[in-house]
Amino acid sequence: MNMIQVNGDPLAWSAGMTVRDVLTLRRFTFPMLVITVDGDLVDRKDYDTAPVPDGADVQVLHLMSGG
Amino acid sequence: MSSNTIQADYPQFHRCEVDFTTRTEYVEGMEALKAAHQVLKEWTFTPSLPERGYTNRTLYLNVGTLEIRERPVTQQMKDVFTGGRGFGLWHLWNAVTPKTRWNDPENEIIIMPGPVSGITQYPGSGKSLVVSLSPQTEIPIDSNVGGYFGPLLKFSGYDGLEIQGKSDQELIVFIDGQKGLLRVETAPAEPVDSHVLAEILTHMYAEDEKDRVNISVVSAGSAAEHSLIGMLNFSWYDKRRGCIRLKQAGRGGIGTVFRDKKIKALVIRGPEVKGDLNHPKDFETIARTGIKLHKELRSNDPVQCLMRRNGTAHIVEIMDAYDLLPVHNYQYGSHPETHKIASYIWDQRCTQRTADGCWYGCSMACAKGADGVELRTGPYKGHRVTVDGPEYENAAGLGSNCGVFDAEYLLELNFYCDTYGICTITYATICAFVMECYQRGILDKERTGGLDLTWGNAVDDLEMMHQMARGEGFGKIAGLGVKRMKELFIRNGWGDPDLINDIGMENKGLEYSQYMSKESLAQQGGYALTNKGPQHDEAWLIFMDMVNKQLPTFEDKAEALYYFPLFRTWFGLYGWCKLPWNDVAPSDNAKTSEPAKIPEHVQNYLDIAGAMRGVKLTSEDMLNESARVYNFQRIFNIRMGKGLRVHDHAPYRSIGPVTREEYESRIERYEKELREQAGIDPAGLTLEEKMAATRKYRTDRYEKLVNTVYARRGWTLDGVPTQARVKELGLDVFPELVEIVKAYGG
C-alpha cells in the first residue's frame, strides 16, 4: 500500500514513519494540534516516537488560534 | 505577573536590549494648553459601583446642545440585549432613523463595557464595545477595544456612554469618577495625534503621578479628520514603562465620526481599581476560575502559542507555512521573505521585561510593545517612540499584503496608523489594493501624484499615509476606502471595471481583514456573511475547513457559521477579549468531544457570567442571548437600507483566482478541483477556459453556501430573518422589528 491518509488526503508512507514525520512532510507547524492515528489520540510528548503504520488514517486537527 | 516570572517561563529566548524607558516626551507646554480651555458645561453626578455587573444607568451627552442626562438600564434591556454591543445597538437604534447618515448630528458614538468588563480575576476581561453608524458601510459598526476607559467608566457609575450631536468647537469631555463631575471644555490648542494627545491629557488630568493609572483617554488623530477610515485609541498608563499605551477600536471609521463631532478627546478619571468592583453575586467562582486559567497560561503558553512573548504575531510564519498569509493584495499565500517579519523578529524587537496586559489581571499579556523606535519619516521624524504592536493583522496587512518585509518600516507604519487615528487593517487592505492597481497599470505616477506604489515601497506607502493625515494628494483619495476608490477608478476609465471589482477586497464597504480566504469556502462565508463587514471576529474557520477538513458538507459549514458568530457575539455582550478562549488550551483539551470549541473555556465563561449576574447559564442560553442581538443587528441593517443578500456579495478575489498568475501559482489544486469536484476534465481546455470554469464552480458553490447558512440562521433566501425566528427569539416585543421583516418578505 505504502500510503496513508492525512486529513483525508493521501501521503506516501515509509517504513519507521512517526507522527513527527507526518507533521514535517505536511508542513504542519501550528503549535495547537489534536492528533489521532486510526482513532487513537497521540499525546504531544509522543509525536517524535509515535509510529504511523502503513494505511493509517491520521487526523491532525488544528485549533483556531488567531482570528 | 512579575517580569521575572515571564522570563523564567521562556528561558530559550534572550532579552531585548532596547532601553524601554527612553522616549520623546510631549508634556512641555502643557500648562499653556490647559489655560486655553474654556469650560462650557459642568455637571455633577453621584459615583457608584456596579451590582452584579450593572450600574443600571448610562450617561448621555449631546456635544452640540450640551445636554447631559442619565438614562436607566431597564430590565427589558438586560433581558433582550444583555449589555455591551447589545446595549450599544439598542441606543443607536433609538437615536437614528433610516435617513440618518454617519455625519448627521443624530448619529452617536456609544461606548459600552459589558457586565464582566473590569473584573481582574480572569484574563481578557477589560473590553468595551464601540458602536456607531459607519462612514464606510452606512450601517451600524461595532468594534471591540481594550484599554482602561470602559472599565473606569463602569466604576465611575455608568454602564456606558452615549455621545450625540456635533460641536462647532474643539472639545474635551472630562469625566471624573472620583469626584462625580463631568466637564465639557473647549480645547483649541492641543494636537490631535494620539500618542501626543493621550500623553498630555494623562498628565493634565491626573492629580499626581500615582493617579495616572486612573486616567484613560479616547482620541483619534489627524488622518481620521481627512478620511473615512478613522479609528479610536483607548489609552492606559503603563507605569513600568512610564508612558501611555494605546489599544484601538479600529474597524468602520468610528474615529472619523469622532472628529466630525469635533471631539478631540474623552478623558476619564476613575477610582483606584480593586479586585471586586463589579460586585458579582458569586466572587469565589470567578476567582477560582481565574486562578485555573492563570496556571494554564503559565504552563501551556510556552509550548503553545507564546502569546505572552509575541502576542497574535505568533501566527505570521504559520500562516505562511499553510499558504494562508495574504501576499500582494491576497493574490498569494506565502512569500520567501516572510522570515523577515516572523514572530521571532518581534520576539526580539518587542520589550519582554514587562507585563503587557491592556487591563489589570490579564496574564495572557499580549499587548506587546516595541520601544526605542526612532522614526524616519513624517512630522515626528527623529522622535523616539513606543509602538503598540505589531499584532498579526498589522504584520500581515501592512507587511506581506503590501510586500513590505522590513520590520523597522512595519513598526513605523503601525505607529503612524495608530497616532493618526486610522485602522491598521483597513489601511493595509487599501494600500494592498492601490499597489495592485499600480502593478496592473490602473494607477501610475501621474494618477497618484508622484507616488511610486510598487510592492514593498514602504517610503511611498508612508508618504501616502502622511498625505492622508494632511488631507491632501492621493492619500486623501486612498482614505475613501476600497469601495469608493473602485467606483472612482471605474468612473475615470482607469481600468477594466471587472478586474477592479474583482481585486478590491471589500464587502459592505468595509475592507477585508488579513486572512486569505479563497481556498476555504467556510471562511468566505465567515467574512462576507457578517453583519458589519468582513472582519474575522465573527467566524475564523480556515483551519477547520481548509486544513482539518472538519466541515465537508454545506450543512457542516452552515452549522459552523451559525455557532461561531453567535459565540463570538457573546464576548461583545459581556466585555471579554476572545484571545484567552483559544490562544491557549487546557492540557486535556484534545480528549474532549469538541476540542475546536475548547469546551472547558466555554464553561469558564458561562460560570463567570452566571456568577457575575447571579444566574445559571447554559450553552443554549449563550446562543440565544447572542442570537437576539445578532438578528436585531441584521434587522437594523435592513432598516438602514442594507442587510440583504445583495449586500453579502463577496469580491471574487476572496473566492478564487482572478488572474492568470494566481491560477498558475496553484494550478494543481485548481485542476484537481475541476476534475474531482466540478466534474470537468481540464485537459484540452485553454487557461482562460479553465479559469472561467473554476470561477463558475466556485461562485455557484458560494451561492449555495449562502442559501444553506441563511436557512440555518432562520432567514429567507434574501437574508431576512423570518417572522417565526423573530418571535422565537422574543424580539417581537418590538413591533417595528416585525414590521421591517414583514415588509421584506421575512
Domains and CATH numbers, chain B: 36-269 (3.60.9.10), 314-350+368-511 (1.10.569.10), 522-584+618-743 (1.10.599.10)
User: Which contacts of B670-673 are long-range, i.e. CB under 8 A and separated by 24 or more positions?
Assistant: B670/B694, B673/B697
Minimum distance, in Å, between the CA of residue B674 and any CA atom of chain A: 17
Give the SS3 label for residue B517. Answer: coil
Residue range B111-142, pLDDT digits in tens: 999 999 999 999 999 999 999 999 999 999 99
Cell numbers placing B274: 480593586
Beta carbons of B596 and A7 less than 8 Å apart: no
CA-based nearest residue in chain A for residue B591: A41
- pLDDT (mean) for B68-73: 98
Mutate which of A11, A36, A64 to disrupt the B interface (most B C-beta within 10 Å)?
A: A64
Residue range B361-379, pLDDT digits in tens: 999 999 999 999 999 999 9
- pLDDT (mean) for B274-303: 95
Beta carbons of A61 and B582 less than 8 Å apart: no
Model confidence band, residue A1 (pLDDT cutoffs 50, 70, 90) = confident
Distance of CA B628 to the CA centre of its chain: 22
Beta carbons of B585 and A60 less than 8 Å apart: no
Mutate which of B393, B542, B543, B587 to disrupt the A interface (most A C-beta within 10 Å)?
A: B543
Q: What is this structure's pTM?
A: 0.96
- In angstroms, the Cα distances linking B536 to A64, B94, B540, B631, B687 are 12, 28, 6, 18, 33
Nearest to B232 by CA among B381, B111, B367, B106: B111
Give the SS3 label for residue B167. Answer: coil
Minimum distance, in Å, between the CA of residue B539 and any CA atom of chain A: 8
Nearest to B58 by CA among B124, B111, B134, B118: B111
Q: Does A8 touch chain B (CB under 8 A)?
A: yes
Say what the pLDDT of residue B355 is: 76
- pLDDT (mean) for B204-232: 98
Distance of CA B493 to the CA centre of its chain: 34
CA-based nearest residue in chain A for residue B593: A34
Q: Are B485 and B430 in contact (CB under 8 A)?
A: yes
Closest partner CB to A29 (pick from B318, B583, B591): B318
* Amino acid present at B462: L
Instruction: Report the first-to-last Cα separation within chain A, whole angstroms.
Output: 39
Nearest to B744 by CA among B629, B649, B636: B636
Q: What percent of chain B has pLDDT over 90?
A: 92
Q: What percent of chain B has pLDDT over 70?
A: 97
Verify cis geometry, omega within 30 degrees of 0, for the bond prior to B390.
yes
CA-based nearest residue in chain A for residue B546: A7
Say what the pLDDT of residue B551 is: 95
Q: Is the pLDDT of residue B1 over 50?
A: no
Give the SS3 label for residue B62. Answer: strand
Beta carbons of B595 and A66 less than 8 Å apart: no
Residues of chain A with Cβ-Cβ distance to B582 below 8 Å are 63-65
Model confidence band, residue B22 (pLDDT cutoffs 50, 70, 90) = confident
Q: What number of C-beta contacts closer than 8 Å exist between A and B?
A: 70
Closest partner CB to B540 (pick from A31, A60, A67): A67
Minimum distance, in Å, between the CA of residue A26 and any CA atom of chain B: 9
Beta carbons of B595 and A8 less than 8 Å apart: no
- pLDDT (mean) for B253-275: 97
Model confidence band, residue B351 (pLDDT cutoffs 50, 70, 90) = confident
Q: Does A25 touch chain B (CB under 8 A)?
A: no
Element (H, E) at B128: strand B128-133
- pLDDT (mean) for B533-550: 91
CB atoms within 10 A of CB B678: 17
Q: Is the pLDDT of residue B21 over 50?
A: yes
Beta carbons of B317 and A29 less than 8 Å apart: yes
Minimum distance, in Å, between the CA of residue A7 and any CA atom of chain B: 6
Nearest to B231 by CA among B433, B402, B388: B388
Q: Are B424 and B321 in contact (CB under 8 A)?
A: no
Strand partners, B690: none
Q: Does B545 touch chain A (CB under 8 A)?
A: no
Residues of chain B with Cβ-Cβ distance to A34 below 8 Å are 589-590, 595
- pLDDT (mean) for B22-38: 96
Residues of chain A with Cβ-Cβ distance to B306 below 8 Å are 31
Q: Does B589 touch chain A (CB under 8 A)?
A: yes
Report d(CA B24, CA A15) in Å as an integer. Answer: 61
- pLDDT (mean) for B601-613: 97
Q: Is the pLDDT of residue B616 over 50?
A: yes
Say what the pLDDT of residue B430 is: 98
Say what the pLDDT of residue B257 is: 98
Domain ranges of chain A: 3-62
Q: Are B132 and B140 in contact (CB under 8 A)?
A: yes
- pLDDT (mean) for B569-595: 94
Report d(CA B712, CA B416) in Å as an integer. Answer: 43
Closest partner CB to B304 (pick from A31, A62, A66): A31
Residues 245-304 of B with CB under 8 A from A: 303-304
CA-based nearest residue in chain B for residue A45: B303
Nearest to B396 by CA among B328, B309, B471: B328
Report d(CA B145, CA B713) in Å as an integer. Answer: 27
Beta carbons of A31 and B585 less than 8 Å apart: no
Residue whose grid cell is 485602522: B423
Residues 6+ apart with CB under 8 A from B317: A29, B338, B339, B342, B343, B344
Closest partner CB to B540 (pick from A34, A61, A64): A64
Q: Does B595 touch chain A (CB under 8 A)?
A: yes
* Amino acid present at A33: L
Q: What is the mean pLDDT of chain B?
A: 95
Say what the pLDDT of residue B2 is: 32
Model confidence band, residue B183 (pLDDT cutoffs 50, 70, 90) = very high
- In angstroms, the Cα distances linking B226 to B260, B264, B421, B427, B474 are 10, 14, 10, 13, 12
Q: Are B403 and B455 in contact (CB under 8 A)?
A: yes
Model confidence band, residue B5 (pLDDT cutoffs 50, 70, 90) = very low
Report d(CA B62, CA B69) in Å as an integer. Answer: 9
* Amino acid present at B81: F
Q: Does A2 touch chain B (CB under 8 A)?
A: no
Closest partner CB to A41 (pick from B515, B590, B596): B590
Say what the pLDDT of residue B713 is: 98
Model confidence band, residue B4 (pLDDT cutoffs 50, 70, 90) = very low
Model confidence band, residue B322 (pLDDT cutoffs 50, 70, 90) = very high
Q: Does B592 touch chain A (CB under 8 A)?
A: no
Q: Is the pLDDT of residue B7 over 80?
A: no
Mutate which of B548, B571, B579, B602 to disrupt the A interface (most A C-beta within 10 Å)?
A: B548
Report d(CA B425, CA B417) in Å as an integer. Answer: 9
Minimum distance, in Å, between the CA of residue B328 and any CA atom of chain A: 20
Report d(CA B574, CA B557) in Å as an integer. Answer: 26
CB atoms within 10 A of CB B676: 9
Beta carbons of A32 and B585 less than 8 Å apart: yes
Residues of chain B with Cβ-Cβ distance to A41 below 8 Å are 590-591
Say what the pLDDT of residue B16 is: 54
Q: Is the pLDDT of residue B9 over 90?
A: no
Minimum distance, in Å, between the CA of residue A35 and any CA atom of chain B: 8
Q: What is the DSSP string of B327-377?
A: BTTTTBS--TTGGGGSHHHHHHHS--SS---SSTT-TT----EEEEEEP-S
Please give the CATH number for the structural domain made up of A3-62.
3.10.20.30
Beta carbons of A29 and B550 less than 8 Å apart: no
Looking only at the bridges linking them, the beta strands covering B215-219 and B384-388 are unpaired
Residue whose grid cell is 486569505: B516
- pLDDT (mean) for B674-697: 97
- pLDDT (mean) for B570-597: 93
* Amino acid present at B369: G
Minimum distance, in Å, between the CA of residue A45 and any CA atom of chain B: 11
Report d(CA B713, CA B564) in Å as an integer. Answer: 12
Which letter does DSSP use for residue B272 in this model? P
- pLDDT (mean) for A53-64: 94
Model confidence band, residue B3 (pLDDT cutoffs 50, 70, 90) = very low
Residue whose grid cell is 509515535: A50
Positive/negative CA dihedral, B125, B150, B263, B511: positive
Q: Is the pLDDT of residue B12 over 90?
A: no
Report d(CA B410, CA B316) in Å as an integer. Answer: 13
Say what the pLDDT of residue B160 is: 98
* Amino acid present at A10: P
Q: Is the pLDDT of residue B714 over 60?
A: yes
Q: Is the pLDDT of residue B14 over 60?
A: no
Cell numbers placing B682: 481540464
Q: Are B10 and B310 in contact (CB under 8 A)?
A: no
Q: Is the pLDDT of residue B578 over 60?
A: yes
Report d(CA A55, CA B442) in Å as an integer. Answer: 52
Residues in chain A: 67
CB atoms within 10 A of CB B292: 15
Report d(CA B306, CA B313) in Å as an integer. Answer: 10
Cell numbers placing B631: 438578528
Residues 6+ apart with CB under 8 A from B669: B519
Report d(CA B618, CA B607) in Å as an integer. Answer: 9
* Burial (Cβ within 10 Å: 0-12, 13-18, ≥19) of residue B208: exposed
Within 13 A of B218's CA, how many CA atoms are on the CB side? 34
Beta carbons of B590 and A34 less than 8 Å apart: yes
